[in-house]
């Protein structure tokens, strides 16, 4: 894609005020301080070890980087935004949370592993004469996810996870209400 077209499309994407909020200043240092407070509290309460604290503690203040890839299968090739979180203050914490959540991911009957799995499942669908197949195009999936309901689902699945205590000493308390950052939402 031509860089002028890319710049124009990324600016149009970011101008969507229902999805994105323009910040007056870079809040990374503020969020790093909040994360350090939470991690220190978890360490002091023996919910994480010193070694875990050292692993989770952010060492720098890299701001996540946004880039986008064109959806070449769609008219006008709209952009698919991707946030590169590598090296950001929440990267290590996100990795650790992903490891804790991994065993409950994909346990829903509605989960598909990849496009081949989806095609296989769809191949088994039999429509009645009064039914039609409908496909929806999701726009800005993560920014349009019902966050509180998602936390409820995660909390419920973790509470039924018999092996959770072998992965973490922390209790199930998804997103305390005092946290409101781009990294966690209440």
Residues 69-96: tens digit of each pLDDT = 998 988 888 899 999 989 899 999 999 9
Tell me how many degrees the CA angle 41-44-46 measures, rounded to the nearest 5: 110
H/E stretch holding 65 = strand 65-70
DSSP per-residue codes, 85-113: -TTBTTHHHHHHHHHHHGGGTT-STT---
Give yes or no for residue 185 having a pLDDT over 70.
no
Which range marks the domain in which residue 20 is found? 3-166
pLDDT at 174: 59
Give yes or no for residue 182 having a pLDDT over 50.
no
The predicted-structure confidence for 122-179, as pLDDT tens digits, reads as follows: 999 899 999 998 887 777 777 778 888 888 888 889 988 999 888 888 777 755 444 4
In a domain, 173, yes or no: no
The predicted-structure confidence for 31-54, as pLDDT tens digits, reads as follows: 999 999 999 999 999 989 999 999
In a domain, 49, yes or no: yes
Do 146 and 139 form a contact (C-beta atoms < 8 A)? Answer: no
The token duo for 150 is 């998602």
In a domain, 174, yes or no: no
User: Virtual CA dihedral for 174, 21, 83, 105, nearest 10 degrees?
Assistant: 30
The token duo for 140 is 């800005």
In a domain, 182, yes or no: no
Sign, Cα dihedral of 87, 93, 96, 97: negative
Burial per residue of 74-113, b for 16 or more beta-carbon CB atoms within 10 angstroms, e otherwise? eeeeebebeeeeeebbbbbbeebeeeeeebbeeeeeeeee
In a domain, 186, yes or no: no
DSSP code for 139: S
The pTM assigned to this predicted structure is 0.71
Residues in the chain: 186
- How many structural domains compose the chain? 1
In a domain, 153, yes or no: yes
In a domain, 131, yes or no: yes
Half-sphere exposure of 44 (CA within 13 A, CB side): 6
In a domain, 185, yes or no: no
């Amino acid at each position: 894609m031509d860089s002028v077209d890319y710049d124009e499309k990324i600016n149009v994407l970011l101008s969507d005020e229902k999805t994105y909020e323009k910040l007056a200043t870079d809040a990374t240092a503020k969020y790093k301080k909040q994360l350090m407070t939470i991690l220190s509290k978890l360490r002091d309460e023996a919910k994480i070890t010193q070694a875990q604290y050292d692993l989770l503690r952010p060492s720098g203040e890299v701001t996540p980087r946004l880039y986008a890839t064109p959806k070449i299968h769609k008219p006008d090739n709209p952009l698919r935004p991707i946030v590169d979180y590598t090296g950001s203050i929440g990267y290590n914490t996100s990795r650790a949370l992903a490891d804790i959540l991994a065993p409950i991911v994909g346990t829903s009957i509605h989960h598909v592993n990849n496009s081949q799995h989806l095609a296989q499942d769809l191949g088994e669908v039999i429509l009645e004469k009064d039914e039609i197949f409908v496909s929806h195009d999701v726009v800005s999936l993560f920014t349009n996810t019902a966050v509180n309901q998602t936390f409820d689902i995660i909390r419920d699945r973790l509470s039924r996870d018999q092996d959770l205590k072998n992965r973490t000493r922390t209790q199930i308390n998804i997103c305390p209400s005092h946290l409101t950052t781009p990294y966690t939402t209440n």
